[in-house]
Chains A and B, each alone.
Chain A
Amino acid sequence: MYGKGLKPLSIATVVAIAAAFSLVFFYAPLDADQGFIQKIFYLHVPLAITALIGFVVGGVFAVLHLRSNNRKWDAYSYVSIHMSVIFGVAVLITGSIWAKASWGHWWVWDEPTLVSFLIVFLMYATYYPFRYAIEDPERQARYASVFAVTAGAFVPLNFMAVRMAQSLVHPRVFATTNGGLPGSMMFTFLVCLAAVALLWVTLVKLELTAKSTSGQLKRLRRALDAPPTGGGGSRIAPEVS
């Protein structure tokens, strides 16, 4: 039932990403300051925005799980956070490349957005060992939801604290992401954001479909009383009916 609409969604994602990359390389003007390397901005920033929204969405699903006690929402929450962590790795890598190219260092502690993102990423990286360490599936789902809600509230708070920690002496040169953009760059950026967000949704849906299919397979096998073959799936991930 999760597979419904996966094909059109995938096609839309492919089209959107193709359109976004053509815009990035053929339409958007070269940045006067940074030249070609600035193009990574069209990948890096949408990835970061999508990952952060994904974390908060995971928290919202967790609230739904706690309120309704329906395990489906726990699976949604898990997959959302899972995808966002993967996107987060990509954000840190693309960010490092960009920082090396434009500031000369792989990592810059003065940039609050970078530091906040790292802390949020570290926070969510503990989601896996946390889930893994709790054996009872019912309790695991409940605790994971509480974690997701807590961490979801932590995201904006952390951004605020880190931003304030920068002494006001440091000028924030690259902070005005949207304000100073010319129209063509802005348009390209928005298309990229939509493409990356679509990619996130597609991957979440794909993961849920895969989980639900393997769950059904497992149940059928159990009904046939056959011994399970293969890996049997991960022990951390919640099962989907």
Chain B
Amino acid sequence: MSAPETISSPPRLTPSRQAFATILAKDLRAELRTLQSLPAMALFAVTTFVIFRFGLDRTQLSGSLAAGVLWATLLFAALLGVNRLFVAEREEGGFDAIRLAPIDRSVLFAAKATALLAYLVVLELVVVPIFALFFLGSAAALGPLIAVLLLADLGIAATGTLISSMAVHSRARDLLGPLVLLPLIVPLMIAATGASEPLLAAGGPGYHRFGTWLAVLSLYDLIFLLLGYAVFDFLLED
């Protein structure tokens, strides 16, 4: 690209907050109109619960089994959203538009991660009560579970956005995203199930090492949010 000779003022960047709001609003509006990710994620999660009900042959779950079923289901449902996150950008030329736009590129990371976070929160609003209805005797654990869910969502949003933005440029993108993301998410799953297990225990919620696990989740979120923010610039260059 050659710059025109008669530039009188330095090129102005669109304020990051405005760019962020625009991209996020675009994503949420597109999802609301096409509904291509969220209903599929929710349906997938509910069906998986049914599969687990027969796979494990249990009608009531508690403790580690309940935590495992909940988190495995949420993770795999999240992968569906992660896979679709950048497909529109790739197929409709959104990446080129972002590259041309006078904005800080990291804004795209922030906006996409926020959009994914919003998908996950909506997914869990629908699916976690259904999980409680299907498998748990009482809803007492759902209150403290919110903290675990939110922190884990933040981590999945950060790593998912980072990996998805790379995988979407590859030949086998539907395969590659989950393949790379799953091992990356293992520490997050360890912490999330570790915190949920006593919460979902049969005799009512317990808080064994609850704070420690929340700290691990926060550390994971912090590291991958900072990392994503730092490296995202390199993923958009062309």
Contact = CB atoms under 8 A, between A and B. Distances in A.
Contacts of B213: 164
A153 B170 contact: no
Interface residues of B, number: 33
Nearest to B176: A133
Interface string B160-174: 001000110111110
A219 B166 CA distance: 30
B227 interface: yes
Interface size class of A (residues with CB under 8 A): 20 to 34
Interface in B140-181: 162, 166-167, 169-173, 175-176, 179-180
A144 B212 CA distance: 33
B186 interface: yes
B96 to A, nearest CB: 14
B50 interface: no
A153 B179 CA distance: 18
A135 B170 CA distance: 7
Contacts of B54: none
B172 A123 contact: no
Interface in B193-217: 194, 212-213, 216
B111 interface: no
Interface string B90-121: 00000000000000000000000000000000
B176 A142 contact: no
Interface stretch (B32-40, B125-133, B230-238): B230-238
Contact of A123 (B184, B194, B212, B237): B184
B186 A119 contact: yes
A165 B188 CA distance: 11
Q: Which of B190, B219, B235 has the most chain A CB within a 10 Å cutoff?
A: B190
B234 A133 contact: no
A16 B126 CA distance: 62
Nearest to B188: A161
A66 B231 contact: yes
Interface string A123-148: 10010011001110001001101110
Contacts of A146: 162, 166, 231, 234-235
B162 A150 contact: yes
A149 B227 contact: yes
Contacts of A135: 171
Contacts of A134: 166, 169-171
A157 interface: yes
B170 A160 contact: no
Contacts of B223: 153, 157
B47 to A, nearest CB: 27
A150 B109 CA distance: 15
Interface in A104-131: 119, 122-123, 126, 129-130
B55 interface: no
A215 B184 CA distance: 34
B236 to A, nearest CB: 10
A164 B235 contact: no
Interface of B: 162, 166-167, 169-173, 175-176, 179-180, 183-184, 186-188, 190-191, 194, 212-213, 216, 219-220, 223-224, 227, 231, 234-235, 237-238
25 contacts: A119-B186, A119-B187, A123-B180, A126-B180, A126-B183, A129-B175, A129-B179, A133-B171, A133-B173, A134-B169, A134-B171, A143-B169, A145-B234, A146-B166, A146-B231, A149-B231, A153-B224, A157-B219, A157-B220, A161-B186, A161-B187, A161-B191, A161-B216, A164-B213, A165-B190
Top 10 closest pairs, chain A to chain B, by CB: A133-B170, A161-B187, A123-B183, A122-B183, A165-B190, A161-B190, A126-B180, A146-B231, A133-B172, A134-B170
